[in-house]
Every structure is written in structure tokens, then in C-alpha cells.
Structure 1
Amino acid sequence: MRKVRLDDLDSRMGPADHNVPLTDALGVADAALNYYELDAGDSFSYGLHSHQNQEEIFHVLDGTVTFETLDVQQAADPDEEPASTEEVEVSAGELVRFGPGEFQRGVNRGDERVRALAVGAPQDAGDTEILRECEDCGETTTQEIELADDHSEIHAVCEACGAVTGRFD
């Protein structure tokens, strides 16, 4: 058995105001576990994304999260019309599950701070594909996530043109 206090653990850099990885702290072997606090406009992730092998479950403890999802079939075929997105709100006390390969992004679009737990299984997510709007390309493109040279922030970088599409500290 392991017991930890959230207040004793460090938050990591990223798109959420507060993101505490709990997997190692609790010695979890077969799943990933993270605690989040999102201010207005914050997100759980760097963009619309999918994990090849991992399903994700989000339990919203406080506030409301708007999840944007993407039609995977349309996203897989570049000759198709732009993929359609759907939004679903998940409020305090509710849970939502996304299967492996499903594109999603959760954002706090309200004024109330969001607190949530995220569980991913298996722990090894496999390849993760991240999509963001690239102004230089004029479209949504796949992204790489990189630590800035001075380690002060994380960058989302367009794979097509190399432009930085997001900065997270």
C-alpha cells in the first residue's frame, strides 16, 4: 500500500495550471494516473489527440469540462472533407471514457476551476498523435511536443513546417 498527499507532490509543466502525475508516486504498474486543476481556458492536453493503445477515463471532481472529439474515420483519410468534431460537457460527479485511437481534448470553458482525475490504461499509451491549428500552414497539422532549449516552457511544433503553434509553462 502507498499513500500520498497531493500537496506534497510537484506539478509538471503543460497546458493545465496544475498537473500532478500520480503513477510513480503510488507505484501504479498497469495504468497511468494524473490529477489536474484547470483554470478557465486550460486543457488536459496539448491539442486534440489520440493514444494508439490507451483508453482514458476522466472523472470530473469540480467544475465542467468541454471535451472536443474528432471523427476518426474522417481524420484518417486526407482526401475526405475536413473531419467533423463533436463537443460533450462533463460536469462534477460525471465520468467519460475514450477508447484507444479516439481523438479528444478536454478544455475548461467555464469560469469555475476544474479539478479532475485521469486514468489511462495500459500505462504504455503507444504512439500519440496530436493535432493543432498551424497558422503558417493554414490548417490543422500533426504536432511534436518539445522542451524549450532553456527548459522554461514546452512547445507544440508543427511537423509540416516547424512553426511553434503553442507554448506551455
Structure 2
Amino acid sequence: MEKVDLQEDGRGPSISPADVYNRLSKPLGTEDLAINYAELEPGGQLGMDYHRHRDQEELFVVTSGTVTFETETGEVAVGENEAIRFAPDEFQLAHNADDERATLLALGAPRGSREIQYQRNCPTCGEETLQELELNRETGVFEGICTECGEVAVEVEPS
């Protein structure tokens, strides 16, 4: 049995701009399930940008406040004690559009998703494209590689 404090700092390297983002999988010893706790201030978001996991199913449980998810079919508001599920390959982005802090649990299986695609503007192509997120091991910076032109479209330092 393992026990953790959701608000204890377990952030580790992350590209999520969430105000509090704690990775719970390692301290809880999960092998197949990613578990994260996040707190979003008004205007905050979970995740770098509109994205999909090619290899992971995700479930978000809102424990307080309201979190709005940008989806392929429009925005969906998920309130306290509600949950939303995304199958692999479904695009989404969570953000707090309200005036109060929101908290949520993010669950993903299988744990260790590495096949993430972002839909964002590519400066080289001059339009929105799919971008694969890769860690540049030399610089320690995450790079969004455009699937159309192969150029680095964005660089994000882990926080």
C-alpha cells in the first residue's frame, strides 16, 4: 500500500503550465496507470496545447470548480464531481474558464504515453499542422516537430 498527499510537490519535469501539477504514479507505484493531480487558477490550462495521445486513453475527474475542455466537437464544461473520458486519438485541451480555482485528477492508461501530437501553427508552413513532441536529449528541451515539413515548430523547456 502507498499513500500520498495530492498537494505535495511531486511535479518533476513537465511541459504543463498548470499552477500545481503533481505526478502521483511513481510515488504510488503504479505500473500501467498514469495519475496526475492538477490545480488550475482562472485562465490556467492543463497541457501545452491542443493535443491527442495516439497510444493512451485519458480520464479527467474534476474535484472542485469547473474545467472546460476544448474538443473536436466544441467546448465541454465539466463541473465538480463530474468526469470526462478521451479515447486514444481524440484531441483535447483542458483550461479553467471560470473565476474560481479548479482541481482535477488526470488518469491515463497505459502509463508512459510518448506518442503525443499537437495541432498548432508551424512558422515554416504558415498554417496549423500536426506536430510530434520529442525531447532533444542534448539540450533538454521539448521540440514540436512539424509532420508536414519536418522542421522544429516550437521549443518548450520543462518547468
Q: How far apart are residue 156 of structure 1 and its match?
A: 5.8
Q: How far apart are residue 66 of structure 1 and its match?
A: 1.1
Q: What letter corresponds to residue 154 of structure 2 in structure 1?
A: V
Matched, 1:8 2:8: yes
Give secondary structure in 1 for the equivalent of 2:45: coil
Question: In structure 2, which of residues 44, 47, 60 is the aligned counterpart of residue 45 of structure 1?
Answer: 47
Question: In structure 1, which of residues 104, 110, 116 is the aligned counterpart of residue 104 of structure 2?
Answer: 116
Distance 1:155 1:39 in 2: 24
Distance 2:5 2:52 in 1: 30
Q: Which has the higher contact order (CA 8 A, sep 6+)?
A: 1
Q: Going by fraction, where is strand more abundant, 1 or 2? A: 2
Structure 2 segments unaligned to the other structure (5+ residues)? none
Identity level (%): 39
Q: What letter corresponds to residue 23 of structure 1 in structure 2?
A: S
Per-residue deviation, residues 73-113 of structure 1 (Å, max 9, x unmatched): xxxxxxxxxxxx41111011100011111111111111211
Q: TM-score, normalization: structure 1?
A: 0.76
Distance 2:7 2:93 in 1: 26
Give secondary structure in 2 for the equivalent of 1:25: helix
Taking only aligned residues, the RMSD between alpha carbons, in angstroms, comes to 2.6
1:60-71 correspondence to structure 2 within 5 Å: 60-70=62-72
Per-residue deviation, residues 28-72 of structure 1 (Å, max 9, x unmatched): 1111000001112222111111112211000001111111112xx
Q: Going by fraction, where is helix more abundant, 1 or 2? A: 1
1:1-169 correspondence to structure 2 within 5 Å: 1-12=1-12, 13=14, 14-70=16-72, 85-134=73-122, 137-143=125-131, 144=133, 157=144, 159=146, 160=149, 161-164=151-154, 169=159
Give aligned pairs, total: 153
